[in-house]
Amino acid sequence: MCSPFQLRLAAETLRKGGILAWPTEAVYGIGCDPLNPHAVQRLLALKQRPLSKGLILVTANLDQLLPFIEPPPEAQMQTVLDSWPGPHTWLLPASAQTPAWITGDTGMVAVRVTAHPVARNLCLAFGGALTSTSANRSARPPARNALEARLRCPGTDTILHGPTGGQRNPTPIRNALSGEVLRP
């Protein structure tokens, strides 16, 4: 588990446009401040990921997510809320303020309210949502520990150490409006 001091330093790195890696539910994630275009561009270049794919946002709570989404009808939103906090990523309609580099070509935003203690505490220390994608180059195996994250993502500014949540696969991604499973 990360100390409060480590989390404060990590949050400061994010505020300065840095790229971080940290343990998530199944793999190490890598991310940055989603509202910092320079940081997002660095992240996409590091991952060799096209802008058109968009990025997942991870948050500690619903309040951190609200600026990025237009809540769907009540029944669909309740399904989403019933799965959080936890290892479930949902596509929700993006708010008008959500940058295109988050939504990609979809007009939707992939979001997760995490229960993983390191990821959750990092979002709390930062004070908002973070981009969160697997710590690897696109189409390569994701990192499952801090050393793999360092080796697979050279250029990462800080790596928070800790165990992943024990899930075998990255979180499933579902469309909240249609129920379609995009990643099992």
Residue 104 structure tokens: 């990609």
**Residue range 61-72: average pLDDT?**
96
pLDDT in tens, 29-54: 999 999 999 999 999 999 999 999 99
Homologous superfamily of 4-179: DHBP synthase (3.90.870.10)
Q: CA 52, CA 45: separation in Å to the nearest integer?
A: 13
Would you say the C-alpha torsion 75, 79, 80, 84 has a positive or negative sign? positive
Q: Is the pLDDT of residue 1 over 80?
A: no
Domain boundaries, the chain: 4-179
- Note the pLDDT of residue 108: 97
Of 143, 149, 144, which Cα lies nearest the Cα of 164?
144
Helix, strand, coil tally for the chain in percent (to 5): 35, 20, 45
- Size (the chain), residues: 184
> Residue 37: which residues within 8 A CB-CB, separation 6 or more?
99, 101
pLDDT in tens, 86-122: 999 999 999 999 999 999 989 999 999 999 999 999 9
